[in-house]
């Protein structure tokens, strides 16, 4: 299902290990917009902190969120962004940069996230020691306008189909 390019501005969000990158890539391809991989835009200092198991602070994330907001603005025809967006304030910052922004929240249990993060330890900078801090920081977006909750344990093709159908319904709404 293809969308008018200007219609899709979406953040695929959730804690580490929920599948943001995999779903983000699938959705960007399905709707025909660029993918912005949020992890690619962390500062070297933040990446180093996370690799050593030190949780980022709001101050650490501030510049990152500003960068992500600018990247969304640089794609006026739509984009899919992968970003943890753990707190409402972070989501609101992104919404301010990109009015009409929607969020697909990949909901996952702590044990499942921990297993996934451990399985990718050789290929990703994020330390398994930080999974608990991700859950401690998470302010669930369920109930916020423009948010779709998805079960992160479903297959990527099923998640992509659910999110694409949701986006298409949103496009039809007045």
pLDDT for position 174: 46
Indicate whether 173 belongs to any domain.
no
∠ CA 129-39-65, nearest 5°, is 105
**What predicted TM-score, i.e. pTM, was given to this entire model?**
0.87
Q: Supply the CATH number for residue 148's domain.
A: 3.40.50.300
Domain containing residue 111:
5-168
Indicate whether 162 belongs to any domain.
yes
- Count the Cβ atoms, other than its own, within 10 Å of residue 108: 22
Indicate whether 62 belongs to any domain.
yes
Number of domains into which the chain is organized: 1
Indicate whether 124 belongs to any domain.
yes
pLDDT for position 121: 56
Cβ pair 88, 144 in contact under 8 A: yes
Indicate whether 93 belongs to any domain.
yes
Cβ pair 153, 108 in contact under 8 A: yes
Instruction: Give, for all 174 residues of the chain, the pLDDT tens digit.
Output: 444 444 789 999 999 889 999 999 999 999 999 999 988 887 788 778 777 777 778 888 898 899 999 999 999 899 999 999 999 999 999 999 999 999 999 999 998 988 877 765 555 555 566 788 888 899 999 999 999 999 999 999 999 999 999 998 876 554
- As to burial, measured by CB atoms within 10 angstroms (0-12 exposed, 13-18 middle, 19+ buried), residue 154 is middle
Indicate whether 76 belongs to any domain.
yes
Indicate whether 137 belongs to any domain.
yes
Indicate whether 46 belongs to any domain.
yes
């Amino acid at each position: 299902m293809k969308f008018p390019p200007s219609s899709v501005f979406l953040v695929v969000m959730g804690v580490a290990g929920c599948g943001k990158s995999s779903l983000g890539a699938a959705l960007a391809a399905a709707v025909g917009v660029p993918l912005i991989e949020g992890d690619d835009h962390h500062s070297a200092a933040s990446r180093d902190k996370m690799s050593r198991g030190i949780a980022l602070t709001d101050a650490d994330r501030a510049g990152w969120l500003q960068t992500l907001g600018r990247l969304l603005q640089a794609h006026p025809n739509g984009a899919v962004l992968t970003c943890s967006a753990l707190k409402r304030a972070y989501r609101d910052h992104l919404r301010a940069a990109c009015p009409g922004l929607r969020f697909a929240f990949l909901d996952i249990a702590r044990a499942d996230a921990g297993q996934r993060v451990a399985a990718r330890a050789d290929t990703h900078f994020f330390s398994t020691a930080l999974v608990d801090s991700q859950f401690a920081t998470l302010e669930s977006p369920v109930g916020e306008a423009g948010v779709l909750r998805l079960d992160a344990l479903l297959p990527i093709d099923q998640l992509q189909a659910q999110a694409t159908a949701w986006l298409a319904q949103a496009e039809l709404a007045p």
